[in-house]
Structure 1
Amino acid sequence: MEWISFGTGLMAAAMAFALFSNSQEEDELDEEIVEDDLVINGAPGRHVTLSCQTCRKLKKHKEIKSNLYQCCKCKRHVDLRAS
């Protein structure tokens, strides 16, 4: 009975390690992609990371006008101008 408990604990620890180590690699890859993206033919403007309501994640946004941003993935506009 002791070997079954030991094996079960070992398998649970291996699965937890695989789950958490995999998510960190994906986050690192996303950061590398964001840093390496270059817009060659696009309009000049700064890129910021904002929360997109359509994507429901932190995504890269391009500034179109002063305090008006557009999501690079879904093209949704985020207006931060004073009304």
Structure 2
Amino acid sequence: MDLVSFSTGLLSAVFAYALFSQKEEVIEDLEVELEEEDLVINDESTGRHVTMSCQTCRKLKKHKEVTPNLYQCCKCKRHVDLRAK
């Protein structure tokens, strides 16, 4: 019985060490990759999703913001214009 307990404890200690030591390396690798990549972000659309009532679907559906205050239904692609005129 002592050999089983010893081997179980040894295996769980090795597993815990491998789990916690690998996590730090992955975070450092991700930070290096983010610094190396030059990302260009377009500010044309915010990419917000809003739940609104769609006139065509007649239900509450998700709408994607195409331009500021101009939304498009994700299902039927109808545009909803909330811009000031």
* Shorter-normalised TM range: 0.3 to 0.5
- TM normalised by structure 2 equals 0.45
Q: Which structure is larger by alpha-carbon Rg, 1 or 2?
A: 2
- TM normalised by structure 1 equals 0.46
